[in-house]
Amino acid sequence: MVALGTLLLLGLLLTAPPGLGQGPARRRRPPPPQSPLEKVAAQEELGLPQLAGRWFLVGMASCCSYLAEHSHRLEATAVTVTVPDGQSLAISTFRKLDGMCWEIKQRYLPAQAHGRFLLKGRGYGSKVDMVVGETDHSSYAILYYQKGRSISVKLYGRTSRVSDAIVDKFEQRVRAVGLSEDMTYYFPTYGFCDSADEFHVLDETKP
């Protein structure tokens, strides 16, 4: 999705009369607004090998209207994480769709800062930034995602249920980025997929 500000700027440049912005009176372009994810601190002592293995999606906070409208149809979701090169995260997500188990393969590449990753999409504006905000590697992980200007927060557990203290941490972080309880959803704790057949694999790692 192309940011609205980008479209407005492009329209201005295309329709501006000749000479606009030229000459000694030209004003310096203001810096772009800070990305919401830039305000989120990444886990300082992050051990990527310790993130490997199976995780269960416990909760998610997002302002996505589709998620709000279909929250009653949430499916149990699990992911398997590997670290193929010591720097990037290869993530396979397993969930049901219309009663069939699907696997979605994605590769998060290391960004410029520690604990930050980038998922490159196939179209313009489809990239996703991800930050590992907090984890103890053994029981929970709180991850932030940003696509365009929209941010979401996910809570993963090594088991499908986590302690109330961990849920409290998650909800505090959700509020800190401007999301509310009404935008927070918790996933089923049963009915997980362990695998998918070759006809139900979506491989987003291929060019």
Q: What is the pLDDT of residue 36?
A: 77
- Residue 35 within a domain: no
Q: Which residue type sits at 61?
A: A
Tell me the HSE value of 107 on the side-chain side, using a 13 A CA sphere.
14
Could you give the CA distance from residue 11 to residue 5 in angstroms, rounded to a whole number?
A: 10
Domain annotation covers residue 14: no
- pTM of model > 0.75: yes
Residue 181 lies in a domain: yes
**Residues listed for the chain:** 207
Side-chain-facing half-sphere of 138: CA atoms under 13 Å: 0
115 within some domain: yes
Name the stretches of the chain with pLDDT < 70.
1-26, 31-34, 122-125
Is residue 102 assigned to a domain? Answer: yes
| The pLDDT value given to residue 93 | 98
- Please indicate, yes or no, if residue 3 is contained in any of the structural domains: no
Range of the domain at 149: 51-203
First and final C-alpha spacing in the chain: 20
Question: Residue 167's domain is classified under what CATH number?
Answer: 2.40.128.20
**What is the C-alpha radius of gyration for the chain, rounded to an integer number of angstroms?**
20
* Burial annotation 143-171 (CB, 10 A radius, 16+ → b, else e): bbbbbbeebbbbbbbeebebeeebbebbb
Beta strands 77-82; 53-61: pairing state = antiparallel
Give the number of domains in the chain: 1
Q: How far is CA 94 from CA 90, 118, 128, 138, 176, in A?
A: 13, 20, 19, 20, 29
Range list of β-strands (E), 21-139: 53-61, 77-82, 89-97, 100-110, 116-119, 128-135
Residue 109 lies in a domain: yes
Reading phi first (left if > 0) and then psi (alpha if -120 to 50, else beta), residue 98 is in: left
For residues 135 and 41, the answer to whether their CB atoms sit within 8 Å is: no
Flag whether 177 is in a domain.
Answer: yes
